[in-house]
Amino acid sequence: MAVKVRIPTPLRKFTQGADEVSAQGNNVKAIVEDLEKHFPGIKERICDETGKVRRFVNVYVNGDDIRFQQNLETSLKEGDSISIVPAIAGGY
């Protein structure tokens, strides 16, 4: 099933500048694998060497953080929207 994936600016070099792409999969893990198949190198920016979402990357399905759902096993349905958001740190 197809879902929309919003791509943050730092990862758009992998998507030829596209801010949104379509990907196929029934859970977030499958979407990340599909993204890697079409945009080689993007997975290592999203996931660490153990396959988990990197600490400073947030992934949302329809606005809900997957860390409060089933993480990469979070189920998807046709038309869902995924947002990949790099964490921003800062201060004075």
The number of distinct structural domains making up the chain is 1
The verdict on residue 70 lying in a domain is: yes
Looking at residue 69, what is its pLDDT? 97
The verdict on residue 91 lying in a domain is: no
**Cα separation, 31 vs 23, whole angstroms:** 6
The verdict on residue 59 lying in a domain is: yes
Mean pLDDT of 42-54: 97
Mean pLDDT of 48-56: 96
Q: Would you give the end-to-end CA distance of the chain in angstroms?
A: 44
Instruction: List the domain range (segments joined by +) for residue 73.
Output: 2-86
The verdict on residue 41 lying in a domain is: yes
The verdict on residue 67 lying in a domain is: yes
Looking at residue 92, what is its pLDDT? 64
The verdict on residue 39 lying in a domain is: yes
Query: Does residue 56 sit in helix, strand or coil?
Result: coil
The verdict on residue 92 lying in a domain is: no
For residue 89, pLDDT over 70 is answered with no
Mean pLDDT of 3-24: 97
Sheet containing strand 64-65, edge to edge, reads 20-24, 2-6, 81-86, 57-61, 64-65
Looking at residue 73, what is its pLDDT? 98
CATH code of the domain containing 11:
3.10.20.30
Mean pLDDT of 69-85: 96
Residue 42's closest CA among 57, 26, 62? 57
More confident residue, 9 or 92: 9
Cβ-based neighbours of 51, under 8 Å, separated by 6 or more: 72
The verdict on residue 65 lying in a domain is: yes
